[in-house]
Structure 1
Amino acid sequence: MTSDLEASIPAVAPGLLQTWQATSIASVWRRPGDWYTPANEALVEALEAGLDTAPAAFRLGQARCAAGVGITEAIDDMAVLFRAAGFETTPIRSIRALCAGWTDSTPGTIAAPTMTDAESGLGTAEYLSQRLAEVYGRARRTGMPVTTSHALVMVDVSVSDDDPWQRIARNAAVGEALTCAYGEGHPMARLGDGLYAVLVERGADLGPNLASLRDHIGRKARALRVATLMRQPPRVWIEPLPASLRYAHELIASLQRH
């Protein structure tokens, strides 16, 4: 009997392709039904033939972007293939090609949701503003001022460069690091290239946790081989929240980088 997983792969597909799909769906891929594209097969064929994988990775980046897949998920998915093929890490040249293909297809292909930043997988400034509105609304009901209950943890890893693939890799790495640190669904956002904000509750451990967060981001950057693409060490600080939602929105606007 043929499983649904096997049915979604062409009969001529090699075993590595099937392993890639099964492992990716079990670990990093969010929508099993739209994993396969001809670009997947082309990348596997190039890898098994010992050819340059960059052209196929570029095509895969284009295909992922066209399907509305975020760059973080696309990079994680491709990393599954190279691990399955016996590589310790994904070659930088292939990651760069994937990012270039994804960037190349972005204009006119998809419109990133206004609440989700496609490069980091985090929220946008609009999303963070919405979550702040919830916090300020709760403060009005409970009588506990936001100035004493919450704050923003700011992370800055920005460097001076104009390379789009480096920007994407940097944002993807920090997005993954922050998601690992705070968990899926925690209110946080990318406010610009290399600048991120996390909405947190104030507590006795808020200050000490900043050093741990900085070290965690540094370790993740080294693990993903993008440490040279970002500020070292990352700059992490606490941004106090103002007394009113109006001023909180103005604060977010002032922090944004365009």
Structure 2
Amino acid sequence: MTVREAGSRSHRGDADGTARALRRLRARWRTASIAAGWRFPSDWGLPEVDAVCSSAVLRCDLSDSLAGLGRARAASGAGLEETLTDLAALHAVLTHDQEHGGLIATDPDAAPTPMVRAAALAWADESCGELRNAETVESLTSLSTHAYLRTRLGEVYRRSRRAQVPVARTHALLVVTLDLSAVTGWARLMAMVLVADVLREVFDGGESVALLGPSVAVVLAERDPAFGERALNAGWLITERLAVDPQMATGRRPWLRVEQLPDTEDGARTLLHGLSRA
């Protein structure tokens, strides 16, 4: 009996040690990546990041998890240069003695070719795949995609030009942003699923509801007297539903704001790109 109990404690101790190692690696990698130039800290953490950390801590082959990360970075709007800089930060962390404090210097050219190849090819494949398969709906949340929203905006701007009425007078863009920097794993995705459910429930009159990034959703709606009330209602419902699950309760209310649409369609596309990385 004594032997079994000791083995059980050892197993739990190993599991706790692995969990601590995963958290340390993730935190050090994020810090190094931001220091190296990652522009939007709120969209750095993805489930694929945790998969890479798990492979590294367990000393498994990183190829598959890095490929998954490359695809996820492309899907979330991160450019190839930024993705490879993030990869260089990971390599710096993995090869730097964690017993020494301070920031870790990242060398963009130091990452081994197999690491770069796995992530870069997957990034390119995902980017080209988006062009080949321009889906209108994002699979997990069932919200419209970034590409579809651009198409809808084009229709709105063409109608505006014909009517000679500025788009900013007829339509509004409601932006919903969650701070998921403290949320890890699949809980990040489930938080956005809840946001999607609320937005579809509140804006059910033909508005375009789209997912722009890992933590950003938007609603393209006509400006009408009830728009402000619906926006406030959406904010309260999102907060209430996220609070039910401790893993998704960030302690911060979702940030809802109305963005004024620019005068031109090109300006609107630029705005969407910026919002997708917010």
TM-score, L = length of structure 2: 0.49
> 1:105-254 maps to which residues of 2 (within 5 A)?
114=134, 115-161=136-182, 163-183=184-204, 186-222=207-243, 225=245, 228-230=248-250, 232-254=252-274
How far 1:184 sits from its partner (Å)?
A: 8.0
d(CA) in 2 for partners of 1:133, 1:168: 29
Q: For residues 180-234 of structure 1, what are the alpha-carbon distances to aligned partners after superposition, in whole Å with 9 as ceiling and x for unaligned?
A: 11128631211112211100111333333322121121233345x3673446321
- The answer (yes or no) to whether the contact 1:154–1:196 under 8 Å persists in 2 is yes
Identity of aligned residues (%): 27
Question: CA 1:147–1:186 in 2, change beyond 3 Å: closer, same or farther?
Answer: closer
Q: Which secondary structure does the structure 1 equivalent of 2:180 belong to?
A: coil
Q: Counterpart of 1:212 in 2: which secondary structure?
A: helix
Q: Distance in 1 between matches of 2:273 and 2:200?
A: 23
Say if 1:156 and 1:231, in contact at 8 Å, map to a contact too: no
- 2:242 and 2:137 map into 1 onto residues whose CA distance is 22
Q: Secondary structure at the match of 1:228?
A: coil
Identify the structure with bigger relative contact order (alpha carbons < 8 Å, sequence gap 6+). Answer: 2
Query: Which stretch of structure 1 is more off in the superposition, 112-121 or 206-215?
Result: 112-121
Aligned to 1:257: 277
Q: Deviations over 1:58-93 (max 9, x none)?
A: xxxxxxxxxxxxxxxxxxxxxxxxxxxxxxxxxxxx
Count of residue correspondences:
157
TM-score (norm 1): 0.52
For the 8 Å contact 2:167–2:261, the answer to whether it is kept is yes
- What are the ranges of 5 or more consecutive residues in structure 2 without an aligned counterpart? 1-46, 52-64, 72-121
Q: Supply the distance in 2 between the matched residues of 1:231 and 1:118 (Cα, whole angstroms).
A: 28
Q: Kindly report structure 1 stretches of 4+ aligned residues shifted beyond 6 Å.
A: none
The answer to whether the Cα contact below 8 Å between 1:173 and 1:226 also exists between their aligned partners in 2 is no
Alpha-carbon distance between aligned partners in 1 of 2:218 and 2:227, rounded to the nearest angstrom: 14
- Checking the alignment, whether the CA contact within 8 Å between 2:203 and 2:230 is kept in structure 1 is no
In structure 1, runs of 5+ residues without a counterpart are 1-95
In 1, Cα distance between equivalents of 2:201 and 2:250: 18
> Is the contact between residue 243 and residue 249 of structure 2 (CA under 8 Å) also seen in structure 1?
no
Matched letter for residue 188 of structure 2? R
CA offset digits 1:72-120 (Å, max 9, x no partner): xxxxxxxxxxxxxxxxxxxxxxxx9xxx9xxx9x879x97863222232
| Alpha-carbon distance in 2 for matches of 1:179, 1:208 | 15
Aligned AA for 1:243?
A: D
Asked if the contact 1:169–1:226 (Cα under 8 Å) also holds between the matched residues in 2, the reply is no
